[in-house]
Structure 1
């Protein structure tokens, strides 16, 4: 009787160890540039690339075929919940800010 109890407990433990009912811990992932709405509000057409870089930092991507386009992307995947992506593109003409495209302005608060 004791062997049967031990064998059934071992079988139960082994069968539940491969069970996918319970999710393991997933660390939150944040990648890219966090650009706040206050930073975007400070951008003005006609600013130089150095002034823009001072306000919102280095771009995540500078297109090698079009160096007058800067892309700022932010990706947030929390442990639980919805993944969000924000994208902001800046276009320059003759070394000065000409156009801002994208929603990209985000305020991130982590507790």
Structure 2
């Protein structure tokens, strides 16, 4: 009889725990990328001007490509879809030659 009561109590506790909504934290990593600031980027800008607008890049050149800065932003909300965005700025002789954005402004 005691085993049955313990089993019922444990089962009821487990079922009650299943109905409690769990809390999930938002996870944000990388550089927050502002659409307005990305829109201000222009070919011919200096590296210093780019750093003033977007801040220090997440990845600033590598041994393979010294002329590329990558700004990466990842956001996983507690509920809903994740967002991954990357803005790459390519330099030629210290000036912006091209900009690649994985997300169109406003989207």
Q: Shorter-normalised TM-score: what interval?
A: 0.7 to 0.9
CA separation of 1:28 and 1:6: change in aligned 2, threshold 3 A: same
Q: Where does the alignment leave 5 or more consecutive residues of structure 1 unmatched? A: none
**CA–CA separation in structure 2 for the residues paired with 1:53 and 1:30:** 21
Q: What's the RMSD between the two structures over aligned residues?
A: 2.7
Which residue does the alignment assign to 2:72? 73
Q: Where does the alignment leave 5 or more consecutive residues of structure 2 unmatched? A: none
Which residue does the alignment assign to 1:24? 22
Q: Which runs of 4+ in 1 moved over 6 A?
A: none
Q: How does 1:1-111 map to 2 (within 5 A)?
A: 3=2, 6-13=5-12, 15-16=14-15, 24-65=22-63, 66-104=65-103
Give the number of equivalent residue pairs.
105
If the length of structure 1 is used for normalisation, what is the TM-score?
0.77
If the length of structure 2 is used for normalisation, what is the TM-score?
0.79
